[in-house]
Amino acid sequence: MSGKVATITSGKGGVGKTTATANLGAALANMGLRVVCIDADIGLRNLDVVMGLENRIVYDLVDVVEGRCKLRQAMIRDKRLEEFYLIPAAQTRDKTAVSPQDMIRLSDELRADFDWILIDSPAGIERGFRNAIAPADIVVIITNPEVSAVRDADRIIGLVEAEDKGPGKLIINRVKPEMIKRGDMLGTDDVLDVLAIDLVGVVPDDESVIVAANKGLAVVLDPRSKAGGAFRNIARRLNGEDVPFEALDEHDGFFGRLSRLVKTGGEG
Amino acid sequence: MNTPLAIKGIRDGILITVPEGDWAEVLPNLLEAIQKQADFFRGARLALQIENRDISAAELGRLRDMLAEEEITLWAILTTSATTRGAAADLGLELELSKTTHAERDDELPLETRLQGEEAVLVERTLRSGHNVRYAGHVIVLGDVNPGAEIVAGGHVIVWGRLRGTVHAGAVGNESATVCALDLSPTQLRIAGQIAISPGRRSKTMPEIACIRDGQLIAEPWQT
């Protein structure tokens, strides 16, 4: 049995790659799966902060690649979840310290021991991005319902296709249903219209995400958080379950009512 | 102004037929035409048809260097003048359009089914932001052209899908070129030297065709 490598990327910065990586990782681990997150954003590491593990870093990704430590030594276990690890990025180096081949080798080594290897890609389309997608089985593209973020996501999808990594899966993050209703924000349909790839989840804008991230906690472990629920469902979909899309009060059509029914009947 | 230059996309690059006249007069016209369409010619392989005009090796070398400055490779000189043939040969230029490709083509197509000036490229995918298609003939896309994608064609552009990127048809000055799409809402549309931007987003989309009529770039619904 071999683990799957999923790279979370976006092109544009600040759309929620790191938060999504941390939360999808926590959700998968919470489902009893063995998960490791790799921060590929060398020089601008963040994932350790969001996961609340900053103070435990001894070795990092570059140390592993350059042979200063064993892979196991660079893996930091999560505070709460048993089978959830982080390989942090180096803060003092840059993207050229690691090559795409290094990432493929590293991921292949991890496949034996883990069900999921999640890679947090840096923003941009340069070396760091190439490193991050090189080992990917699945590329998860995250975007916000904003024209500029969608434009960058489109570019990324083109590059991912050019690397023969399939068209990728889409998460639309920070959706504000009231704004869509007022016609001030792109709706899910508008985004899909342009990008035309598989939607794997829609995450509502939710303050609890920021609160949790600042505390270094995963919002998916908060049962009341709307965004946490959305990330939990995305994790289940990535893992192959057929989970209906949660209603965002975004459309009142048949689909909206239907999914609301399913939701009240389901896990709530 | 003399007779205009004939610019044609061929299999191996671009062929320009230089009209009759004094070389000293024709040359500036040629360079001007190329500079006007610098975007289109950039990176191109160029063959020049210059009939029986005598051109010295020095002149030819100078032309090659000037073209190189525009990032154009002078690749072949088609001429009947012995002087010019000698000069071209000295510079290592081809004297006819590639024989090998003709031979290969004969293998593939026992009958001559090609129509002159009707070369087209078929793009069977969605062109996403950052994708770029440049072709001397026509461009046909089976899929969408997203914002941030760009098509530059010497001839017509046909999009069987939504056209939302930037498109330039008739890029070498062909005003009879058209652009048609199932949903014609390009970021910017150019035909020959004319530029237009799309009106705001419409509620209902329909197939449309854009062309130059009476010197105006217009778009109209496609009527069967």
d(CA A68, CA A141): 33
Per the model's pLDDT, the better-predicted residue between A255 and B171 turns out to be B171
Q: Report the pLDDT value the prediction gives residue B152, as an integer from 0 to 100.
A: 95
In 3D space, the residue among B200, B153, B198 whose CA is nearest the CA of residue B177 turns out to be: B153
Q: Give me A218's structure tokens.
A: 């995963």
Q: Report the pLDDT value the prediction gives residue B57, as an integer from 0 to 100.
A: 84
| pLDDT band with cut points at 50, 70 and 90 for residue B106 | very low
**Contacts of B62-68 spanning 24+ positions with Cβ under 8 A:** B63/B27, B64/B91, B64/B93, B66/B31, B67/B34
Taking contacts as CB-CB distances below 8 angstroms, the residues of chain B near A168 are none
Q: Report the pLDDT value the prediction gives residue B113, as an integer from 0 to 100.
A: 55
Whether the CB of B126 is below 8 Å from some CB of chain A: the reply is yes
| Mutation site, B123, B127, B128, interface A, largest A CB count within 10 A | B128
Torsion sign over Cα A240, A241, A244, A248: negative
Q: Distance between terminal CA atoms of chain B?
A: 41
Summarize pLDDT for B84-99 with one digit per residue, the tens. 888 888 888 888 776 5
Taking contacts as CB-CB distances below 8 angstroms, the residues of chain A near B131 are 158
Taking contacts as CB-CB distances below 8 angstroms, the residues of chain A near B146 are 154, 194
What is the percent of chain B where pLDDT is above 70?
A: 87
Q: Report the pLDDT value the prediction gives residue A261, as an integer from 0 to 100.
A: 52
Whether the CB of B146 is below 8 Å from some CB of chain A: the reply is yes
Mean pLDDT of B52-61: 84
Q: Report the pLDDT value the prediction gives residue B28, as an integer from 0 to 100.
A: 84
Radius of gyration of the CA atoms of chain A, in A:
18
Q: Report the pLDDT value the prediction gives residue A225, as an integer from 0 to 100.
A: 93
CB B119 within 8 A of CB B9: yes
In 3D space, the residue among A139, A95, A144 whose CA is nearest the CA of residue A118 turns out to be: A139
Is the predicted pLDDT of residue B224 greater than 80, yes or no? Answer: no
Summarize pLDDT for B165-217 with one digit per residue, the tens. 999 999 988 999 999 999 999 999 999 999 998 876 666 788 999 999 999 99
The phi-psi region of residue B63 (left if phi > 0; otherwise alpha if psi is between -120 and 50; otherwise beta) is alpha
d(CA A165, CA A197): 13
Mean pLDDT of A168-190: 93
Residue A152 to residue B129, Cβ atoms within 8 A: yes
Taking contacts as CB-CB distances below 8 angstroms, the residues of chain A near B187 are none
Interchain CB contacts (distance < 8 Å): A and B: 27
| pLDDT band with cut points at 50, 70 and 90 for residue B109 | very low
What is the percent of chain A where pLDDT is above 90?
A: 86
**In sequence order, which ranges of chain B are alpha helices (DSSP H)?**
23-36, 38-41, 57-69, 82-90, 99-108
Residue B128 to residue A155, Cβ atoms within 8 A: yes
d(CA B82, CA B97): 17
CB B44 within 8 A of CB B14: yes
Dihedral, CA of residue B216, residue B217, residue B219 and residue B224, to nearest 10: 70
d(CA A114, CA A2): 7
Q: Which domains does chain B have, with CATH numbers?
A: 6-90 (3.30.750), 120-221 (2.160.20.70)
d(CA A119, CA A7): 5
Per the model's pLDDT, the better-predicted residue between B148 and B51 turns out to be B148
* Closest CA of chain B from A150, distance in Å: 10
Q: Give me B212's structure tokens.
A: 């130059």
**Chain A residues with CB within 8 Å of chain B CB:** 151-152, 154-155, 157-159, 161, 194, 196
**In sequence order, which ranges of chain A are alpha helices (DSSP H)?**
17-30, 47-50, 61-65, 71-74, 100-111, 127-133, 147-162, 177-182, 188-195, 207-215, 226-238, 254-265
Q: Report the pLDDT value the prediction gives residue B115, as an integer from 0 to 100.
A: 59
Q: Report the pLDDT value the prediction gives residue B145, as an integer from 0 to 100.
A: 96
d(CA A213, CA A225): 13
Residue B129 to residue A196, Cβ atoms within 8 A: no
Residue located via tokens 């959830």: A84
For A264, residues 6+ apart whose C-beta sits below 8 A from its C-beta are none
Is the predicted pLDDT of residue B107 greater than 50, yes or no? Answer: no
In 3D space, the residue among A158, A150, A153, A152 whose CA is nearest the CA of residue A190 turns out to be: A150
Q: Report the pLDDT value the prediction gives residue B35, as an integer from 0 to 100.
A: 82
Across A121-125, A239-243, B28-32, B201-205, least confident range:
B201-205
Q: Report the pLDDT value the prediction gives residue A266, as an integer from 0 to 100.
A: 41
Beta-strand pair B194-196/A84-87: unpaired
| pLDDT band with cut points at 50, 70 and 90 for residue B128 | very high
Q: Report the pLDDT value the prediction gives residue A268, as an integer from 0 to 100.
A: 36
Phi and psi torsions of A223, nearest 5°: -65, -20
A155: nearest CB among B126, B148, B164? B148
Taking contacts as CB-CB distances below 8 angstroms, the residues of chain B near A151 are 129, 147-148
d(CA B55, CA B87): 7
CB B138 within 8 A of CB B132: no
Residue A196 to residue B164, Cβ atoms within 8 A: no
Dihedral, CA of residue A144, residue A148, residue B153 and residue B224, to nearest 10: 60
Summarize pLDDT for B16-56 with one digit per residue, the tens. 888 877 788 888 888 888 887 777 787 788 888 888 888 88
Residue B128 to residue A154, Cβ atoms within 8 A: yes
d(CA A259, CA A40): 36
Q: Measured between alpha carbons, how far is residue A155 from residues A127, A162, A183, B37, B139 in Å? A: 15, 11, 25, 27, 21
Across A128-132, A146-150, B103-107, least confident range:
B103-107
d(CA A133, CA A7): 6
A194: nearest CB among B130, B131, B146? B146
Across A4-8, A116-120, B115-119, least confident range:
B115-119
Residue A194 to residue B148, Cβ atoms within 8 A: no
Taking contacts as CB-CB distances below 8 angstroms, the residues of chain A near B126 are 196
In 3D space, the residue among A60, A45, A114 whose CA is nearest the CA of residue A84 turns out to be: A114
A157: nearest CB among B128, B147, B164? B128
Whether the CB of B19 is below 8 Å from some CB of chain A: the reply is no
Is the predicted pLDDT of residue A250 greater than 50, yes or no? Answer: no
CA closest to A151 among chain B residues: B129
- Write down the mean pLDDT value for chain B: 83
| pLDDT band with cut points at 50, 70 and 90 for residue A252 | very low
Q: Distance between terminal CA atoms of chain A?
A: 33
